[in-house]
Amino acid sequence: MKPTGKLNKTARQKLLRELMKEEPFLTDEDLSKKFRVSIQTIRLDRLELGIPELRGRIKNVAEKNYKKVRSIVGTEIVGELIDLNLGESGISVLETSQDMAFSKTSLVRGHHIFSQAESLAMAVIDAEVALTGVSNIKYLNPVKAGDKLVAKAEVARVRGNNHFVHVRIKVDQVQVFRGKFILVVIEDKIESKEE
């Protein structure tokens, strides 16, 4: 849905509301480009429509999904968990920052990217306790500080206590990472530190 030419306020706000339902994680900058108006105009439109800023939209969705996670504590997931279908799939978003990057190049360190992928893979499996048995990963494109990483995980198959999970991470629709994980479900009850 891309507007063709300048829209009046009413039409723009109607399209904005529809677009936010389809793609709730667009930034104000993305929206200003789509609608060919200033970022301030988008912010005013959002305020009038009662649409929270991006951070608020992500947080609202994430809070609902954290409660579903079984294998790890929801707060241990790297990034914001925005969608979760246990045993099937999940999506997380990670806003990168300069402190995640090498100072000389501003490229995000690989362990942050891997951690997002592994924690999402752990979150999607429907098990109480699991460990990463095998990971086959590939960094496909560099990630710069400030990039927004969108990770999508899918349970490819389950064989015995092995869960095969594929994770792809993109920045602006360009794939930057792919990982194939074999997560091993541990049947024995492991005592938690709280007990």
Query: What's the chain's average pLDDT?
Result: 86
CATH 1.10.10.10 positions along the chain are 9-51
Give which of 71, 67, 92, 63 is closest to 168, Cα–Cα.
92
pLDDT at 155: 97
Q: Which helix (H) or strand (E) holds 148?
A: strand 148-159
pLDDT top residue among 126 and 100: 100
User: For domain 58-185, is the CATH number 3.40.50.2020?
Assistant: no
CATH 3.10.129.10 positions along the chain are 58-185
Q: Which amino acid is residue 42, in one-letter code? A: I
pTM: 0.67
Tell me which of 1.10.10.10, 3.40.50.720, 3.40.50.1820, 3.30.470.20 is the CATH number of domain 9-51. Answer: 1.10.10.10
Tens-digit pLDDT profile for residues 56-76: 776 666 666 656 666 666 667
